[in-house]
Amino acid sequence: MYDLTSQKAPWKWGDEQEIAFNKLKNALTTTPVLAQPDLKSAQTGTRPFIIYTDASQQGIGAVLCQEGKDGLLHPLYFASKSLTAAERRYHITDTEALAVVFALKKFHYFVYGVEVVVRTDHQPLTALFKRTNVSSRVLRWALEVQQYKVKIEYVKGKANPVADALSRGVEVSSIDAADISNSNDRIVCTVSPKEETDWLRELKTDPDYSSVIEGIETKKLDREVHLPHCRKRMKVVDFVLDEGDLKILKEDGTAVRVVPKSKRKEVFQEAHKGTLAGHFAVKKLLRLLKNRVFWEGMDKDVARWHKECRECFLANPRQSHMPPLKPFVASKPFEIVCTDILEMGLSVNGMKYVLVVVDHFSKWLGAYAIGDKSAATVATTLFQRWICENARWPRQLHSDQGSEFVNNIMEELAKVAGITLTTTKGYNSRENGLSERAIGTIQRVLKKKIENPDNWDVMLPNVVYAYNVTPHEATGESPFFLLHGFDPFIPSSLIPDGEVTKYQIDLDDYKTELLRGMQLVREHVNENMEAYRERMKNRYNAGHDVDVMKLPRVGGRVFMKLPVEKRKSKHPKLTYDWDGPFRVLEVGDTSALISRIGTNEDPLRIQMDLLRVCPEELSSEPVKPMTRRRRRRVRKVAAMRVKAERTFECEESNASLHFRSDREFDVNDEMHCLHGRFRCQGQPLPLMEGLP
């Protein structure tokens, strides 16, 4: 009877099958001789479950036992199976390992979660699942075995008679490996009596598969089959008509359905974005589909359709194409000054933020503790502390697009002081890298020096002094020297101080020498800065795989990346990283001017690394953000109407209606629902409508 369950065996019911069927009925209806499992003893480990396994050339067998109260082992479950043609070619160690895996799966509901002892007469098996230099098949089995609390022990063959008998007692399939082709001949000629499906009717009209179906029905099994986009040589014998469908036989003997052309994309969409699908990548999706269906050119179709999935494009963590680095170039002090805000936490003095200001040429740092980051506070601190105290008047002030820098107060200050204001493009902190680097240095030094974090503002001036008197990597000199022309005096208890000169130098000579020296220093600094920028540019371009050909082009479509803090959603980490699509209006060296497609919004200047080219396969449908739950708004009054339930006496006074109630309603204001008819000076008011 077991042979009849194979798809490769012809249907035959004779005396031998009838006898086996009667034996099976008798076995199912007689009193069992198996013992009942003691689960509590197995869980405590006093009487654990014991599994004996064995394998032969025909099959594998296993028996689940447990020690009884009489001290003897009693069987709980017998299991066996015959080996397939492929399994019979396994190495003996792999076959014995297969018996263990089969037994654990068969007895899963008994042994899962409790300690179990597996006994085998194949000694190499005791360490097989612990080794790493094994085949992929054994490694896969080892992962399955790890979910059980199993201990494998070796016993001699004489002590394992039951499992040995089960492995040899199975009825071997009468179909030999050499007769597989003949068995295929028999099975493919058998057309299932089930009605034809829509898929089969469509395949009959397909010129690629109509000849295959005709060959099966006319028993021309040796006819070659030529399918487009399929390199594998196939014959009609590789196909079978079963259950009203055309199926193809795989190498492992299983049969999968052939999908007609009109249903292939639907099958892909169900497997990729269906209710129980996970939007997985191409490789995983192909493994899933090839286990269930077949069509020629599946790899190319799945790869192409996967590119059309908007959800995958917007949600997958894919790196944008980076533009070449273009550093700022300053030729003298205070030509370009960068600024940013650092949030440190509330100190005992009420300070919470640090206004960081850095000169791009000399790297001179200013860091000022402030209580808030309002526009007035930032502008006042910048003007009084940075500009007025030491006449550090910037020609260009560069910052991000925070509201503390982009406001009317800063614009008025820049207009009066003649300062050019520039900002980063989009949400890109790398365009303000000098300030970000200075912020990182301040945080690291404060972390190392302070003992009480609440007093960080007290230690901040010391950190700024140490930064300004230390030579910078880019210039080779300290910021103090580049501004003053001499090295700062640093008090030390170990390094002796130089003697103070008793002679007075002529001021004109000092000025001449100072100017000559500063000119030489600036030329030297410019050379160092140029070499530093070139090294930084090469390192950046090499590390970010810069390719100008992959950057957005004018007229193309792009998506813009949004940081988490800019996503208007209650669950920002579950929203898409990208917004758009946008149309590219203008392209610069490191940024692009974009405009949202289908709207009249103002164009945005965005850094290239925050843009992502939209594939041609995707439509221009806008991304729908997962916004916060909207608050219920009180609708404005369109006309005044309420249902007549109660009567209120009222009087009219100018623009307000004063009811004999504890509320006052304005005619032009939003009104809440009042269920009643109102009278004004004895006359009923018009019914109010449009009220929520």
417-429 tens-digit pLDDT: 888 898 887 666 7
Residues 165 and 205 in one domain: no
166 neighbors 63 (Cβ within 8 angstroms): yes
Answer yes or no: is 185 within a domain.
no
**Residues 6 or more apart whose Cβ sits within 8 Å of residue 123:** 154
**CATH at 597:** 2.30.30
Residues 474 and 349 in one domain: yes
Lowest model confidence (mean pLDDT) among 14-18, 44-48, 648-652: 648-652
Query: Is residue 10 over pLDDT 60?
Result: yes
| Element at 586 (helix H, strand E) | strand 578-587
Residues 293 and 397 in one domain: no
Residues 279 and 418 in one domain: no
Max mean pLDDT range (215-219, 247-251, 464-468, 622-626): 464-468
Query: Is residue 306 over pLDDT 80?
Result: yes
In terms of pTM, does the model score above 0.75?
Answer: no
**CATH at 219:** 1.10.340.70
Of 169, 186, 206, the domain-final residue: 169
How many domains, the chain?
Answer: 4
Answer yes or no: is 236 within a domain.
yes
Residues 409 and 311 in one domain: no
Residues 341 and 463 in one domain: yes
**CATH at 160:** 3.30.420.10
Answer yes or no: is 95 within a domain.
yes
Percent of the chain with pLDDT over 70: 71
Residues 581 and 443 in one domain: no
pLDDT given at position 320: 59
Answer yes or no: is 46 within a domain.
yes
Percent of the chain with pLDDT over 90: 11
Residues 49 and 117 in one domain: yes
Max mean pLDDT range (264-273, 496-505, 592-601): 264-273
C-alpha closest to that of 398 among 373, 422, 379: 422
Average pLDDT along the chain: 76
568 neighbors 579 (Cβ within 8 angstroms): no
Q: Which residues pair with 115 in a beta bridge?
A: 149
* CA-to-CA dists, residue 414 to 376, 393, 394, 396, 508, angstroms: 13, 11, 10, 9, 36
Answer yes or no: is 634 within a domain.
no
Residues 35 and 164 in one domain: yes
Lowest model confidence (mean pLDDT) among 161-170, 332-341, 561-570: 561-570
Better-predicted residue by pLDDT, 315 or 191: 315
Answer yes or no: is 640 within a domain.
no
pLDDT given at position 494: 55
Tell me how far apart the alpha carbons of residues 263 and 335 are, in angstroms, rounded to a whole number.
66
Q: Which residues pair with 81 in a beta bridge?
A: 60
Answer yes or no: is 493 within a domain.
no
Residue span of the structural domain in which 432 resides: 336-484
pLDDT given at position 655: 38
Residues 476 and 443 in one domain: yes
pLDDT in tens, 189-239: 444 445 668 888 888 888 888 888 888 888 776 777 778 777 777 777 778
Answer yes or no: is 329 within a domain.
no
Query: Is residue 378 over pLDDT 80?
Result: yes
Residues 136 and 239 in one domain: no
Residues 223 and 154 in one domain: no
pLDDT in tens, 89-131: 888 888 999 999 999 999 999 999 999 999 998 876 776 776 5
